[in-house]
Chain A
Amino acid sequence: MTGEKQQGRQETAAPAIELKGISKAFGPVQANRDISLSVAKGTIHGIVGENGAGKSTLMSILYGFYKADAGEIYINGQRTPIPDSQAAIAAGIGMVFQHFKLVENFTVLENVVLGAEDGALLRPSLAKARKTLVQLAHEYELEVDPDAVIEELSVGHQQRVEILKALYRSADILILDEPTGVLTPSEADHLFRILKNLRAQGKTIILITHKLREIMEATDTVSVMRQGQMTATMKTRDTSPQKLAELMVGRKVLLRVDKKPAKPGKPVLRVENLRLTDSAGVERLKGISFEVRAGEILGIAGVAGNGQSELLDVLGGISPAEGRITLHDRPLPLAGRHANGQARRSDGIAHVPEDRQRLGLIMDFMAWENMCFGYHNDPKYNKGPLMMDNPAILDDTAEKMQRFDIRPPNPRLRAESFSGGNQQKLVLAREIERNPEVLLVGQPTRGVDIGAIEFIHQQIVALRDAGKAILLVSVELEEILSLTDRVAVMFDGRIMGERITSETDEKELGLMMAGVSGEAA
């Protein structure tokens, strides 16, 4: 916690940011507990920690979104109270949020100017911003068309607009919250180049991420947060991903998934020429074909929004589509009243949806009620034709909660009162314990902490080893590479190519994710 002294080359300069004894509670939850941190000027500082460790809260305090209950903030050695975002901006702090705060139907220029106008009339402000943007673009590789409308820009460009917004307000300290979650690998590389340019110009950068590889690659120093506390701060070159992971979770964890080579059997699920046009008339799936064999995990990689969600919805019986899918050579309906989630489940296709809070669970229902959805007509859960057998569902839920180590193990708690990881375990327990022929899983570890990720991966591998077919959709390349046996990459509603996971790498997949066809990559 004495980053000041560790930075040998900057002994005299005051740290850009110094936090002393920051605490913040939300009701009974202590989100930040006596946090102290010092970041030297002109460095990139990483902050890692599990979901709910308090990283975002801490940064929100620094940006004036929340007021700390106790503690002091020093900027460049000056004590600086930050009661609101205006004060943070005035202190030279800029923030790039995980979910961009852009007005989607405004132009880049209007977004940059918003809140930083020079006078009551717009025209002079816009003219000045246009000039500054050209300059910034030149200086930091931040090229964006100033007159482009935000919603027509790619995610990577939208993120550049966020960075430009901060720089236009002459930020010297830039906070980035999970900036690479939505980027392709090459976009992420570009982002890190920008960050290094900024550092070279003397800017200070705080990078919040859960991807340890990025920490190792981009940062000078790193801090670890756990349960609201800052547990360690060190130089990046003195540590390793393994060590950081241990510090985050508080025990040894397996970063790699421990699995035996797959023994694929015959094809179970076959998908042929699947097409889907959404209500706005946009073709989301443009002829998707693949097969999943028994005893293997097929991964679908790709940047979010390239048709993966639609594919899962079609296979899970949620959206109608054209084409053909067969399960053990038996065709399944793709539209009409026989294509629904319950019918798919009774056919043996279980579905763990991407958005567990919207499609996987009903958040204000209790765990035991959630546990029977999709299987609610199972005679085991019913007494006669009208009545549900609630005690039976309760018992069943309690048993599953035990086996999946869901905490707290109380079936009568509402789904919303479980953590992200435990919510995901609830859905997984419901679907996996049915022993389905095919398991569809979307983003199984999104918003799930490292400890639970390990468990969830083990369960998926165990199902594979039991000879079942698994289709895994994930935007996390790391997850695809470590968990799957075969991988198909989706781009713009098409499959760009298929690879055996052990015979490919991030670079090749990254090219396909950016739209280069599999033969060329």
Chain B
Amino acid sequence: MDITDIFLQLMLTADMTIRLSAVLTLACLAGLFSERAGIFDIGLEGKMLFSAFLSATVAYESGNVWLGVLAGIAGSMVFSLIHGLASITFRGNQLISGVALNFLASGLTVVVGNAWYHQGGRTPTLSGAARFHEITLPFADLLRDVPFLGPIYADVISGHKPIVYIAFAAVPLTWWILYRTRFGLRLRAVGENPESVDTAGISVVRLRFTAVMIAGVLCGIAGAYLSTSQAAGFGREMSAGRGYIALAALIFAKWRPFYALGATLLFGLLGAISNLYPNINVFGLFDIPVQFTQALPYILTVVILAGFVGKAVPPRAGGEPYVKER
């Protein structure tokens, strides 16, 4: 392999990493909003799946992918509303509510999809305006001939589907909201000590609902990406544990926006490696089996969740329903 070859492989990997990370980034930020407000959200997975189904269906029926995305967001927000009612209004167990939503999404999408389209839970293949297409950033073709930087701009940064750019723009936006606005200050406070927010005369319930609904919007976009950008239609269980991976990334990121970007890119990279290089040969001695590379993101998830990567301090009021003390 000469140097151009290696450069090409690296570009290919980077491109794929970005593609695979976008969903995780959105889901991870969704979790960040929710958990920073003190509401654990294990239902990221279910929200994404439900949104993926709805956006594929509506995009197919209407022929307009943007309508599909809106439907996906709406569906995901309905799930958020249920989660909010259960865990904020009725002070139920946040984990159980989230798990219930995951089961609901997994069953509902397949049953309804099968009843409507008779394709074993799949929705019909999307094409044309019912699907997202790559957009070329300005000057991409012009700059392609600039050595080194040109191809990176034209082939790695340019040429993704719109939601990818939305996902990466959401990172600095989240940071700005969290650390530079009044809403962000209150959001961080309510996840650490809801009493301090309550005694300051701010409604804990409204603040937490807002956070949970924002999580719904972000999960909705993430789900829409799965079925209208990454694939061309909905397939059963197509979220494939990405909601849980996003949660692991969130812990790895210590609940911070830019760390979250880093963590999800790392997971994306592992995914890209398993896609591009299924059989890695080690010094001509043996092949690493494809199953191993495919399992890498999940292995990393387990390692992170088991707490092997430094001590992560979650928001202190996380998982606790807020009850005014007597």
A117, B196: Cβ atoms under 8 Å?
Answer: no
**Bound Cα distance from A101 to B193, whole angstroms:** 7
Q: Contact between A104 and B180 (Cβ–Cβ < 8 Å)?
A: no
Residue in B185, B197, B199, B316 whose beta carbon sits within 8 Å of that of A117 in the complex:
B185
The 8 Å CB contact of B186, one of A87, A114, A121, is: A114
Assembly CA distance A8 to B286 (angstroms):
97
Number of interface residues of B (CB under 8 A): 23
- Check if A102 sits within 8 Å of B201, measured CB to CB: no
Q: Which of A105-113, A252-260, A464-472, A501-509 contacts B (4 or more CB under 8 A)?
A: A105-113
B192 near A85 with CB under 8 A, answer no
Q: Contact check, A121 vs B181: say whether CB atoms are below 8 A apart.
A: yes
Residues on A with beta carbons closer than 8 Å to the beta carbon of B179: 122
A458 to B117, alpha carbons, bound, how many Å? 82
> Beta-carbon contacts of B178-192 to A below 8 Å, as 1s and 0s?
011111111011001
Chain A residues closer than 8 Å to B181, beta-carbon distance: 120-122
Partner of A103, one of B183, B184, B196, B326: B196
User: In the complex, are the beta carbons of A122 and B193 less than 8 A apart?
Assistant: no
**Complex alpha-carbon distance, A125 and B181, angstroms:** 10
By beta carbon, the residue of chain A nearest B182 is: A117
Determine the distance from Cα of A121 to Cα of B184 in the docked complex, in whole angstroms: 9
On whether A123 and B193 interact (CB within 8 A), knowing A65-B324, A101-B199, the answer reads no
Chain A CB count within 10 A is highest, among B181, B199, B326, for B199
B187-217 interface bits toward A, Cβ cutoff 8 Å, 1 = contact, 0 = none? 0110011011111111000000000000000
Minimum CB–CB distance from A311 to chain B (whole Å) comes to 27
What residues of B have a CB within 8 angstroms of the CB of A197 in the complex?
none
Q: How large is the interface on A (under 10, 10 to 19, 20 to 34, 35 or more residues)?
A: 20 to 34
Residues of A within 8 A of B326 (CB): 26, 57
Closest A residue to B192 by beta carbon equals A103
Query: Inside 8 A of A85's CB, which chain B residues have their CB?
Result: 198-201
CA distance A73 to B259 in the complex (A): 50
Whole-angstrom distance between the Cβ of A295 and the nearest chain B Cβ: 43
Given contacts A102-B193, A104-B316, A106-B189, whether A122 and B182 have CB atoms under 8 Å apart is yes
Are the CB atoms of A104 and B192 closer together than 8 Å? yes
B185 touches A114 (CB 8 A): yes
Nearest B residue (CB) for A115:
B200
- Chain B minimum-CB-distance residue to A111: B196
B182 cross-chain contacts in A, Cβ below 8 A: 117, 119-122, 125
Q: Which residues of the partner chain A approach B201 to less than 8 Å between Cβ atoms?
A: 64, 84-89, 115
Closest to A110 in B: B185
Q: Does A97 contact B (CB under 8 A)?
A: yes
Most chain A C-beta atoms within 10 Å of own C-beta, residue among B184, B186, B193: B193
Question: Is A171 in the interface zone, CB < 8 Å from B?
Answer: no
* B186 CB → nearest A CB, Å: 7
Q: When chains A and B are docked, how far (Å) is the Cα of A84 from the Cα of B324?
A: 13
Chain B: CB-nearest residue to A88: B201
Q: How far is the CB of B317 from chain A (nearest CB, A)?
A: 10
A57 to B326, CA, bound (A): 8
A residues within 8 A CB of B195?
Answer: 101
CA distance A121 to B179 in the complex (A): 9
- What are 12 pairs between A and B in contact, CB < 8 Å? A65-B199, A84-B201, A88-B201, A95-B199, A101-B196, A103-B188, A103-B189, A104-B316, A110-B189, A114-B185, A120-B182, A122-B179
- Can you list the 8 inter-chain pairs with the closest CB atoms, starting with the nearest? A115-B200, A86-B201, A85-B201, A101-B196, A117-B182, A101-B199, A103-B192, A101-B195
Contacts A85-B201, A95-B199 known; 16 new A-B pairs at CB < 8 A: A57-B326, A65-B324, A85-B198, A87-B201, A101-B196, A101-B198, A102-B196, A104-B192, A104-B193, A105-B316, A106-B192, A114-B186, A116-B200, A122-B181, A122-B182, A122-B184
